[in-house]
Structure 1
């Protein structure tokens, strides 16, 4: 088994993996967006602003008449911002209808921030929360119209947090204060409902939070698939418990999610970014999905809570709106960091990413960090690489004896195989020794591929010169071409026993095929493979020089 065959094996395995990913998407296509009558008002407010059809039903019937609500306040939007987030909140329902990530530009080099949540004509992606049961969000007249003392709440210099208060009072004297709080430097939004029951009867309330988005395809490409859709965590569910799982838009249209779990969360994913409602971990929550025309929602409902007459209570939830920052998300909610989805090779991808973070903290450049990770991986695998080439050299020296066995036994393949196995045993040669390193490199390569794909830290991260974004392809294709050249020299340096002309020609064109394939890969991944090839060339030179001294090198006579 020689290195050319290993390259072919690796290529076939990796291409097969990508084809499998594409086939999975093909077999589970995203549904076409239904044609619905537009319900957007003239000011482009979301379709949920003035109707209660998308408000979930309470888990337990309140079994009391709803109080008459005061809905005289006018509809408007207010802003709440700290140094990382700018939120736009609709006073009808108190929904977050826009969220700008101030530290992440939409387009590299442009001042406009990335807009994660948005409310535009034809597209809705908003975070809704409210009180159902006997709460104001379940009233037949529609959702509550909150009032507020000002239109903008901005984090003051030197302050640690900023809050926006929305007020609503029923005709029966129940006062609701919906408070949104942002901490300095954080993407976590604390949402608190202060309920002051000045009426003469108890009120049954159930807090809910849901993320609603217009159904659309995930997007991406064969080499860079991008998931867009729902996800949830139900770690303590009685049935189908899971720390993290995706729930696609077509899954929502096929069947409504209905899971009860202690803690958990619901989320909407969009490549490098995520929004997620994180309820209290001390209560049993009901996770659900609903489809409203062209929109789909994933949410949760907390247990019903009774506020006695003449008493007060606070109902709270958390909302993450921001990039997939693993350490920060892990502090906000249990298993929330798993929305950084490394797939089935997470146990390899996570240590690689931590190593990447470590090197970046030292050198301050993500491209250099990738290079140092490559050196580390190749260094750890050097003993296997050395064993690979040693095995290849021994196999090459055995080729004349193997040919003698073939000439002796002719078409009797069983006797040829038996003779070869006896020969391998006698010479202490492992015929699979050359395959092990390439088989180990395959999962490492895929794991690093997903690490780079899922790491928001690499979004718009420059390397040097023309490489201004390691998360996208090389604009001038320099790295893929250099990678192909390095692969060509690896082939030239490697010993070969290939006699079949067709197989030799296939091997000859492998660098060309890989170069064409890598043209569309993120430049960070191509950088890893280029440096890996350069290290392989150096290792080959050192190993072959040592083998030549032992008479096993590629120049040794057979």
Structure 2
């Protein structure tokens, strides 16, 4: 009997403990710490560095819905359409997010019938939106719903600015106005917060600016992949790229008193540029599968009851045009990807753009710049081609020596060196001049590949877009023909295997050039034609000199 009572007591006690634990989970208040809040909604940044004002981590009534969010999603609201001379934009009343942005001066990549869509929240797989918000008790994040006076705004003729105001009023008497200011002829948009504390207690707001982007869209083609990912600039660290795979491994957390943070892709960039007087922390975060955020957050001044403050920032969203980037923010022009040789590439683009101003045709400007570069390197090229021409004249004698010595490589090498010494020829003389020119030509390659000015720029006849492939593959075929001619002008390798490789290379390169932009192929074609002309002329001179030597020897 005592044993039965003991068993019943244990079961009853265990049941009471289970019921107590369940009641606690249902009724005890949730932890208001940062980690818990972030688990509820990772897209809303939190205060860091140990600074936790009472307002920072407690969601208000309007944001209570965030507790129900288990992952990232864009909450739908009412769309407000904005039309300017450069943009056709859609801003959502939820958060005042910039959800859709068309660039009216740039056409779509695959067709000229539509405008280029830089930002969108409905295209698959692209997710690309700009968000801002305030962190603090009863302050609006990008999840909060704003109101606006109209459903559409249009920049009027004769006016240089257009203001689009969104308003939010909290239950504590705080009013927040978020104002987009668009400027005529400018891809930089002013985004200002006006915060008025109509309550009875001070508030300690933080402001954040972030861009949400997927990791799959705008990755270029398999033949010509391009970088799409995060980037930031500070005076201390200069320009840094942040691939999405790096964001997945670890979150960025960098404190800085200056700089900008954004997303770069081929030809285009978007960047948040907070006002210089405020310190900020740059951050990244993986929000969900293939979705990432990159942004800037920082503390604002305490707002006393009845007082007001402003938080100002710029948002650049547009092409990587040098003049626009340089005037917007320091270091923003570095988003134009010219590779590791940017020190050479930037001056080359400067020359190219000034030629275009004169001739009004980017294709013609490419041709003229290539001619200028060839003229600049003419002495070095001449030395190189002269060495190759001399080697070409020696080719029959080298072949006879090879037949004479057979497999005795040591005697063959000694005889070759003696011949070079007698004829005063340096077999490596053609290499160094070419090596000196390679960095310049590689830099020009990157200039033509990365300059948005080439995008949809016509040349002549069937070439309507220098950034696209030649639709009829005429330029690649001509390019292959010039490579074959160059191969025959060069001295033939004594090794039959090398000779076959040299004959196959023009065909292989031609296939690759089928997928290259027309502007790049045009540059290589013109360069080859100039090289052939110079090499043919030098070959002719050397042939005459050789014939003269033979004639004198006979006499």
RCO higher in structure (CA 8 A, sep ≥6): 1
Question: Unaligned stretches of 5+ in structure 2?
Answer: 1-39, 65-75
The aligned residue for residue 204 of structure 1 is: 204
Residue 485 (structure 1) aligned to one of 481, 493, 510? 481
Kindly indicate whether the alpha-carbon contact (under 8 Å) linking 1:227 and 1:271 is maintained by their aligned counterparts in 2: yes
Specify whether residues 556 and 474 from structure 1 end up closer, same or farther in structure 2 by C-alpha distance, changes over 3 A only.
farther
1:380 matched to 2:376? The reply is yes
> What is the Cα deviation at residue 428 of structure 1?
4.4
The aligned residue for residue 473 of structure 1 is: 469
Kindly indicate whether the alpha-carbon contact (under 8 Å) linking 2:140 and 2:168 is maintained by their aligned counterparts in 1: no
Deviation string, structure 1 residues 511-552 (Cα, Å, up to 9, x no partner): 222222211111111111111111112212332343345337
Residue 100 (structure 1) aligned to one of 96, 102, 110? 102
Matches within 5 A, 1:422-437: 424=420, 428-437=424-433
Residue 345 (structure 1) aligned to one of 337, 341, 344? 341
The aligned residue for residue 54 of structure 1 is: 43
Aligned partners of 2:549, 2:377: CA distance in 1, in Å?
A: 22
Task: Give the 3-state SS of the residue equivalent to 2:456 in structure 1.
Answer: coil
Task: Give the 3-state SS of the residue equivalent to 2:254 in structure 1.
Answer: strand
Residue 259 (structure 2) aligned to one of 257, 264, 267? 264
Residue 306 (structure 2) aligned to one of 307, 310, 314? 310
> What is the Cα deviation at residue 68 of structure 1?
5.7
The aligned residue for residue 131 of structure 1 is: 134
Task: Give the 3-state SS of the residue equivalent to 1:136 in structure 2.
Answer: coil
The aligned residue for residue 223 of structure 1 is: 223
TM-score (norm 1): 0.81
Matches within 5 A, 1:105-116: 105-106=107-108, 110-116=112-118
Question: Unaligned stretches of 5+ in structure 1?
Answer: 1-50
Deviation string, structure 1 residues 240-282 (Cα, Å, up to 9, x no partner): x2x2222122211111111112212211122111111112233
> What is the Cα deviation at residue 476 of structure 1?
0.9
> What is the Cα deviation at residue 500 of structure 1?
3.2
Task: Give the 3-state SS of the residue equivalent to 2:196 in structure 1.
Answer: strand
Aligned partners of 1:554, 1:196: CA distance in 2, in Å?
A: 94
Aligned partners of 1:422, 1:134: CA distance in 2, in Å?
A: 88
> What is the Cα deviation at residue 144 of structure 1?
2.6
The aligned residue for residue 119 of structure 2 is: 117
Aligned partners of 2:552, 2:248: CA distance in 1, in Å?
A: 68
Kindly indicate whether the alpha-carbon contact (under 8 Å) linking 2:300 and 2:311 is maintained by their aligned counterparts in 1: no
Residue 528 (structure 1) aligned to one of 505, 523, 527? 523
Kindly indicate whether the alpha-carbon contact (under 8 Å) linking 1:69 and 1:169 is maintained by their aligned counterparts in 2: no
> What is the Cα deviation at residue 417 of structure 1?
5.2
> What is the Cα deviation at residue 179 of structure 1?
0.6
Specify whether residues 52 and 191 from structure 1 end up closer, same or farther in structure 2 by C-alpha distance, changes over 3 A only.
farther
Task: Give the 3-state SS of the residue equivalent to 1:119 in structure 2.
Answer: coil
The aligned residue for residue 25 of structure 1 is: none
Kindly indicate whether the alpha-carbon contact (under 8 Å) linking 2:209 and 2:296 is maintained by their aligned counterparts in 1: yes
1:275 matched to 2:270? The reply is yes
Specify whether residues 260 and 499 from structure 1 end up closer, same or farther in structure 2 by C-alpha distance, changes over 3 A only.
same
Deviation string, structure 1 residues 383-442 (Cα, Å, up to 9, x no partner): 111101222234455668878987999877667656755765665433221113433443
Specify whether residues 303 and 105 from structure 1 end up closer, same or farther in structure 2 by C-alpha distance, changes over 3 A only.
same
Kindly indicate whether the alpha-carbon contact (under 8 Å) linking 2:389 and 2:491 is maintained by their aligned counterparts in 1: no
Give the total of aligned pairs: 498
> What is the Cα deviation at residue 110 of structure 1?
3.8
Task: Give the 3-state SS of the residue equivalent to 1:463 in structure 2.
Answer: coil
Deviation string, structure 1 residues 324-364 (Cα, Å, up to 9, x no partner): 11221121111111111111121222222222211111111
Deviation string, structure 1 residues 161-187 (Cα, Å, up to 9, x no partner): 111111112232222111100110111
Kindly indicate whether the alpha-carbon contact (under 8 Å) linking 2:232 and 2:240 is maintained by their aligned counterparts in 1: yes
Aligned partners of 2:533, 2:123: CA distance in 1, in Å?
A: 57
Task: Give the 3-state SS of the residue equivalent to 2:292 in structure 1.
Answer: strand
Deviation string, structure 1 residues 290-333 (Cα, Å, up to 9, x no partner): 11123210111123421222222110111111111122112111
Pairwise CA RMSD: 3.1
Kindly indicate whether the alpha-carbon contact (under 8 Å) linking 2:479 and 2:521 is maintained by their aligned counterparts in 1: yes
The aligned residue for residue 54 of structure 2 is: 63
The aligned residue for residue 93 of structure 2 is: 91
Kindly indicate whether the alpha-carbon contact (under 8 Å) linking 1:495 and 1:554 is maintained by their aligned counterparts in 2: no
Residue 544 (structure 1) aligned to one of 527, 539, 545? 539
Deviation string, structure 1 residues 449-502 (Cα, Å, up to 9, x no partner): 22222111111111111111111111111111111122222333x252533333
Matches within 5 A, 1:356-395: 356-395=352-391
Aligned partners of 1:109, 1:215: CA distance in 2, in Å?
A: 24
> What is the Cα deviation at residue 158 of structure 1?
0.7
Question: Which is worse superposed, 462-471 or 482-491?
Answer: 482-491
Deviation string, structure 1 residues 56-93 (Cα, Å, up to 9, x no partner): 01232112596966799x94121223200122111111
Aligned partners of 2:549, 2:189: CA distance in 1, in Å?
A: 64
Aligned partners of 2:242, 2:105: CA distance in 1, in Å?
A: 29
> What is the Cα deviation at residue 215 of structure 1?
2.9
